[in-house]
């Protein structure tokens, strides 16, 4: 169990604290929803959580199988629906080393597609994930 706390600071800004580490992040409402867009919005954090979850779960496997994923990265494009306002889609691109063997690619993609955040999202959220293999440096 992990405790996460938050405090409303005014002007649609919140300060969030990760209990175990005391690390903090801030959120703001997006410009298209009465905010200033000065920080991640709560729904932006969903996209960030998805991308980092994909890479983290793949890295857990990779480190246990001597596969180097250093330099791998992701990009998430979030699209919102308006009525009701919700995340409509999180389109993900995951950039992985070109040298990975086909068998490793298959396992890593299966792991990424089943990361805890992805499988926790509501089925109405469209979540295409594209894996791109290239030289990372």
Total number of domains constituting the chain: 2
Do 46 and 14 lie in one domain? The reply is: no
Do 17 and 53 lie in one domain? The reply is: no
pLDDT of 95-125, one tens digit each? 999 999 999 999 999 999 999 999 999 999 9
Confidence of residue 137 (pLDDT cuts 50, 70, 90): confident
What pLDDT, on a 0 to 100 scale, did the predictor assign at position 105?
Answer: 98
Query: How many Cβ atoms from other residues are within 10 Å of residue 76's Cβ?
Result: 21
What pLDDT, on a 0 to 100 scale, did the predictor assign at position 65?
Answer: 97
pLDDT of 9-66, one tens digit each? 999 999 999 999 999 999 999 999 999 999 999 999 999 999 999 999 999 999 999 9
Strand partners, 10: 13
Do 92 and 29 lie in one domain? The reply is: no
Rounded CA-CA distance 137/8 in Å is 41
What pLDDT, on a 0 to 100 scale, did the predictor assign at position 136?
Answer: 85
What pLDDT, on a 0 to 100 scale, did the predictor assign at position 130?
Answer: 98
Do 28 and 76 lie in one domain? The reply is: no
Going from the C-alpha of 55 to that of each of 8, 33, 45, 72, 88, the distances in angstroms are 31, 30, 15, 8, 22
Do 86 and 24 lie in one domain? The reply is: no
Residue 19 lies in domain: 4-33
Do 70 and 22 lie in one domain? The reply is: no
The percent of residues above 90 in pLDDT, for the chain, comes to: 99
Pair of tokens at residue 136: 């990372």
Phi/psi at 7 (nearest 5 deg)?
A: -135, 135
What pLDDT, on a 0 to 100 scale, did the predictor assign at position 24?
Answer: 98
Do 54 and 21 lie in one domain? The reply is: no
Do 25 and 54 lie in one domain? The reply is: no
């Amino acid at each position: 169990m992990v405790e996460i706390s938050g405090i409303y600071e005014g002007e649609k800004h919140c300060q969030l604290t990760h209990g175990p580490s005391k690390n903090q992040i801030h959120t703001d409402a997006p410009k298209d929803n009465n905010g200033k867009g000065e920080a991640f919005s709560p729904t932006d954090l969903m996209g960030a959580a998805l991308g980092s979850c994909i890479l983290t779960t793949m890295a857990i496997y990779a480190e246990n199988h001597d596969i180097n994923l250093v330099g791998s990265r992701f990009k998430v494009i979030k699209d919102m629906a308006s009525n009701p306002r919700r995340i409509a889609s999180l389109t993900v691109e995951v950039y992985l080393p070109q040298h990975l063997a086909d068998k490793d690619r298959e396992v890593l993609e299966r792991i990424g597609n089943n990361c805890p955040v992805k499988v926790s999202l509501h089925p109405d959220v469209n979540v295409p994930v594209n894996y791109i293999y290239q030289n990372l440096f």
